[in-house]
Structures are given as C-alpha cells and as structure tokens.
Amino acid sequence: MVIKKIAILFSGTGSNLEKLLAFLHQQTFEHCKIEVVATICNRPNAAGIEKSRAYGIEPIIIDHTRYASREAFDEALVEAIVKSGAELTVLAGFMRFLTPYFTEHIKAINLHPSLLPLFKGGNAIKESFESPMKVAGISIHYVSEELDGGEIIAQRCFEKYEGMPFEDFEAKIHALEHELLPETVKNLLNRN
Ligand code: GAR
C-alpha cells in the first residue's frame, strides 16, 4: 500500500484542519493510505493547535512575527515541509501571503471562502455576502505566486436566500468547506 504524506498549514480556529485529520489521517483508500506528517501554525495561540494534538500530532509553530522578512519566514516553512517528507501541502485557513520562494519549492493547495476568481484576499466571506450576487461558494486551488490566483481544482456553491443573516451565510460556507476540502485532497492523492 502506497503511503501519501501531507502537511497542513493553519493559522486560527482549525475547523478545516480537524476535518482533514478526521477524514484522512491514517485512513486507507483504494489506492493509498494518507498520513498527515506535519501540521504547521504561524500563531502560537491558535485554537487549532489543540485540535492537532487531539490526533497525536504536535504542531510545528513557526511564528511569523519572529522573522525579519516574508522570505525568511517562507524559508523556515519550506524547510519544515521538506523535512516532513510531505508530497502535498494543504493550506487550511493559513492567513499569510506567500512569496515565490514558497511556491517554487512546495506543491500546495489552498482553501478559499469564495467563488474564485471573485473576492480574492482576506475579506472574501464579507465581500461575497455583501455583493449583489445571488450565489456564493468556496474554492480549492493550487497555490501560485499570484494571491488566490492558481488553477482552480474544485468549487461548491449555494444560493443566498432573501434576508439571509450573515451568521447563516458564514455557517454555510464553513459547512461546504468541511465537506469539499477532505474530499478534494483524497481525490488528488487516491490515484494510481
Ligand atoms: C476558512 O473559512 C478558510 O476558507 C479561510 O479561513 C477560514 C479558516 O477557518 N481562508 C482564507 O480566507 C484564506 N484566504 P478554520 O481555521 O476554522 O479552518
């Protein structure tokens, strides 16, 4: 059985990290077994740290505030990922701009809470909620040097209903993320 190794990067709550661990870690599929070999977080107080520990994986903390430049931070990230042996890195709520140094060295995918190419950047949920669009959704894409601009791998959408409260909108986004991200990672790895 082929073992496929992944690394997961996160910054905050870690609800997507948790879904990835629950659905994929040490799970055997038709063509492979998936192992999460590293979880990496840039914020020492992130709630997701405990979620990773609950699966027996001590997160590697790479605190971005301790690095003089984005490049220096990315070098530390790349070193940790390469050392882990991960063939795919999943950005699950990782809230840092990455430099070309990262994208040149690491094959990664990112979860983004909008229907790309609309609403790139850090305010996607609010912007898509406030937009006149009647649908909203989420995207998973390859990470490239362009922010939220790499090739789209998967998307899922829903209809906004009249008077939809922001809390319901946000909850719908997260519910879709929790399904689509593990499923997409599995589909990318579980191939001959
Ligand atoms: C998710 O909604 C994810 O799409 C978003 O951060 C949240 C993390 O939640 N990512 C971005 O906005 C990336 N630009 P989580 O920590 O509970 O998984």
105 is catalytic: no
Strands (E), 23-172: 27-28, 33-41, 60-61, 88-91, 108-112, 135-142, 152-159
pTM of the model: 0.97
Which residue minimizes the CA distance to atom 2 of ligand 1? Answer: 113
Which residue minimizes the CA distance to atom 7 of ligand 1? Answer: 93
pLDDT of residue 1: 86
pLDDT of residue 168: 98
Out of 31, 64, 112, 178, the active site residue is 112
pLDDT of residue 47: 98
Tell me how far the alpha carbon of residue 192 lies from the centroid of ligand 1, in angstroms.
30
**CB of 14 sitting under 6 A from ligand 1:** yes
56 phi and psi, to 5 degrees? Answer: 75, 15
**78-124: per-residue pLDDT in tens?**
999 999 999 999 999 999 999 999 999 999 999 999 999 999 999 99
